[in-house]
Amino acid sequence: MSSAGDRRKVTAGAGRRHGGETVKGFVHKVSSPQPSQNDSQEREIQAFLTDEDQLYTYDDLTKVNPVTPTTVLKCLEARYSLKVFYTHAGCTLVALNPFQPIPDLYSQDVMKEYHCSPQPQEFKPHIFIVAEEAYRNVQGQVEPVNQSLVVSGESGAGKTWTSRCLMKYYATVASSSSVVKSQDTVERIERRVLDSNPIMEAFGNACTLRNNNSSRFGKYIQLQLDRCQLLVGASVQTYLLEKTRVACQLANERNFHIFYQMMKGATDEQRKEWKMPRGQHFSWLPNSEKTIEEDCFHETLKAMGHLGINAERQKQIFRILAGILQLGNVNFTSLSDESQPCDLEEQSKDFLQKTAELLCVPAEELQTCLNVRTLKAGKQSVLKPCSQSECSMRKDCLAKVIYAQLFEWLVTFINNSICADKSMWCNFIGVLDVYGFECFQINNLEQLCINYANEKLQQHFVAHYLRAQQDEYVSEGLQWAFVKYQDNQSCLDLIEGIPVSVFSLLNEESRLNRASDAKTFRVRLEKELNNNGNISWDKFSKVPHFTVAHYAGKVCYQIQGMVEKNKDPVPPELINLLQKSDNVLLHQLFTDKETENPTTKGLSKVTVVSKFKNSLESLMKILHSTTPHYTRCIKPNSECKPLTFKMEEVIMQLEACGIVETIRISAAGFPIRILFQSFIQRYGLIGKYSKFKAERSWVDLEADSDILRQEVEKLLSVVLADSSHLPHSEKYNSWVHCGRTKVFLTQSMLDWLEDQRKKVLSQCAFTIQCCWLRYQRRRRHARRQSATLIQAAVRSWLVRKQVQRWNRAAAVIQNTWRKWRALLKSLAEAELDDAKDLVEEDIPALNPVIRERGSIQLSTIQEPVTVRGWPMGLALASAPSITMSLTATGFQKMMSVMASLNLPSRRGEYKVETNQYKQGLASIRAQPKGSVKLHYQRSPLLYADRQPDLKSDVTGFNEILLEKTL
């Protein structure tokens, strides 16, 4: 099983030599040192550094040849000058702090680019590569296990920013999914996880001499993933908050960010509520005129709201913080009479009153708890006035215990807000962000614990990689020449060793019921630990101290006050007072969970270093159970100037972290180690589908290691048979080695195996797709044929139904039409004037002359047809009625009709006009077998064209009758 940090892009055969060492085949030997080796190495270094223009191209320091501190440093300097801040160093990533914003270096597009890439190692080195490797390891590239991202480095090296980028990356890529989620879930996953950062940094970070945003506590954030590797929650574990900073700040340093945010971002209404008028000075807020990027009160309030801290709870929190600030201005006067309690300074009375009002406790009881202590003598309690120094100590203790409990409550609230149920997640990715190695002019118990934590992390790196890997080479049968490295185990033994160590002596001194003496404790340390070479003393110094040689350098610790801080006493009077507070949150802090049991005595009392050591041990257990990824943050200069590279400071950090040794081991060894069972299970399909595949029977993965080794060797011989760019023996020896229980691979070999596996899977997927598509097409064709038959049947049925409806409708229309036509015909026949009507009518006598001229014999009609005409019959009521009887034969017939009716023809249309007065014809009624009659007054068609225009054509029903007549 490979460590996640080992998955780095290493070209085949690159970086195989370092400082005279040659690694080839199964045997890794180092030739005996020769006098000329130093000169030879110097020549190699000079030859390598000659081409300075190409030094920036070494994005992986395992490619540097030779690997020395000088060559590594020069490559980092060349890359840093070109604003390239990330470089691979074997299993670790080196990150140089630019001390300035870099646009688009951490944008959403860059995240998607690394996340969606098949091989992110081929991209430029970036913190997102480490994040993506850990994420893909959880997805099961070899075996799904929990991951840990260890971000280490000195204070100001950029650890907090790196951790912030890692959390933002996972909140972006692990929350994006095609699965439809509710808006509440999206908000809980993405926004709440990210919003925990500004709150934790506001309450736990401060501006120090070495860093404007220095973490004054350690935190391990577990990003919880479900079976689909989607982010469903997170949890935060904190370690050793530097609560002494609330009441004591070094020169040119500041208190926690949240106090300055309140001072600079509060509104007038909030200032009135917190009793903090503008211009008021607080003794616990030094350097308040300095403005930094973290002084953003609005962002903290916004994050609180997103996490579910309502407005009322926020008021309670800020009233407590304002009360702490007012408490810092309270000072006591010294009295000559020790039997009387110290009195308040005149200007401190108002501050005490404001403190009591903000903390919602009685002012008199608060003053009594600060200047009078209670001593128990058996069952009786004795009140004893406190000295001025004791009053100051109790005041500081009150502020520290309140702030520590408030910080712990915030962490618990954040966990309750963002942590998912255990049934919802199965794996996690841990991000460790701890305080960096510190060395100030005055170092006390806090710096000792911080540097002890860094020693533990360095030992974890040494044990996991530098020592464990080389020991494993030997145990698995590889002949390996050990690469020397700095082992800090002796320093850890000095600090935490059993039976005698600095912590054990400090706890023993703290548990004694007596006042501590710094000089006496120093003498005891010198007597008990004199044999350890990592501790020393300056005998000429008047200040009691001891010096510890850490992996990152020597640090001098001041003994004065160390024992009292380790005791961390909390007077029971203060706890009882805070439990009576009317502030709901403050009352809850000290009622639900006791901070200290005042009745504990003797050896059962828990000290600060004991508590911190136990919490750190639990963290190391978690780290050992996960696959670690190392990111080494380097501080290019101590002044935090942008793009300033000081080689002497960087080389000290590289040597302290063991970067050079890490590069040598990574370049010379096999960073990837996979068990036989896992190797066969993952890469066995390559041999099965290879063109050089051999006969291979079923393999029992629980079989003996010798049988599994034979199967692995057969598989490797088949897998490597079709690779022709290197000789087979060289490939097999330099790329891969079969140990006793594991297969050792280089990164190049692992990449090649992964590529072959992807090709096989692609071929199998293509075959499956072809079969599936063929099946789908056949099924689709059968369905299409069936659908065609069904559609044809349905269409024919629909056509038949429609034709039947048409026939029925046509029959109804025809029947109705016939009825209507018969009705009209009967009406016409009943109203038309026929020959019989003419006989019966009383026809007035006509002028003989007119009668003689108007009678014409029609040759085509057997009997004479009587024609009656009226000029302007209905239009001119007074016009005389003229009746003409025309009789004619042959040509005379047509001429008479034309002369009488004047029927000119044009384009098939007829215009009817009379030959008298050119008046229009009102209507023509005709009977097909009877006479042609021109009748106006008795016509049934009085409503049709009674007065046609002279120029209008005869249309409609009149035209039809006229055609039938002619």
Which are the catalytic amino acids?
Answer: 155-156, 160, 211, 214-215, 436, 438
Residue with tokens 């304002």: 322
Q: Tokens 């401190």, residue?
A: 348
Dihedral sign of CA atoms 474, 480, 483, 484 in order = positive
Tokens of 551: 């992996």
For 319-338, b/e burial (b = at least 16 CB within 10 A) is bbbbbbbbbbbbbbeeeeee
- The distance in angstroms from the start CA to the end CA of the chain is 114
CB burial of residue 214 (10 Å; 0-12, 13-18, 19+): buried
Compute the distance between CA of residue 472 and CA of residue 744 in angstroms, rounded to an integer.
Answer: 10
- CB–CB of 387/342 below 8 Å? yes
Phi and psi of 493, rounded to 5°? -60, -35
- Closest listed residue to residue 551, CA positions, set 659, 684, 636, 390: 659
DSSP string, 624-685: HTSEEEEEEEE-S-TT--TT---HHHHHHHHHHHTHHHHHHHHHHS--EEEEHHHHHHHHHH
CB 428 within 8 A of CB 245: no
Region at 317 (left for phi over 0; alpha for psi -120 to 50; beta for the rest): alpha
Q: Which amino acid is at 553?
A: G
Tell me 336's DSSP state.
S
Instruction: Give the whole-angstrom CA distance, residue 909 versus residue 692.
Output: 98
Concatenated DSSP letters of 473-542: HHHTT-B-PPPP----HHHHHHHH-SSS-HHHHHHHHHHSSS---HHHHHHHHHHHSTT-TTEE--TT-S
Instruction: Give the chain's radius of gyration (CA, Å).
Output: 53
Contact indicator for 326, 347 with CB cutoff of 8 Å: no
Two tokens, residue 223: 């990003």
> Closest Cα partner for 234 from 434, 435, 4, 430?
430
Residues whose CB falls within 8 Å of the CB of residue 349, separated by 6 or more in sequence, listed in order: none
Residues annotated in a binding site for ATP: 153-160
Question: From CA 233, how far away is CA 414, in angstroms rounded?
Answer: 11
Q: Quick check: helix, strand or coil at residue 791?
A: helix
In angstroms, rounded to a whole number, what is the distance separating the alpha carbons of residues 475 and 472? 5
Q: What is the DSSP string of 115-135?
A: HH-S-GGGS---HHHHHHHHH
Locate 100 and state its tokens: 């300035």
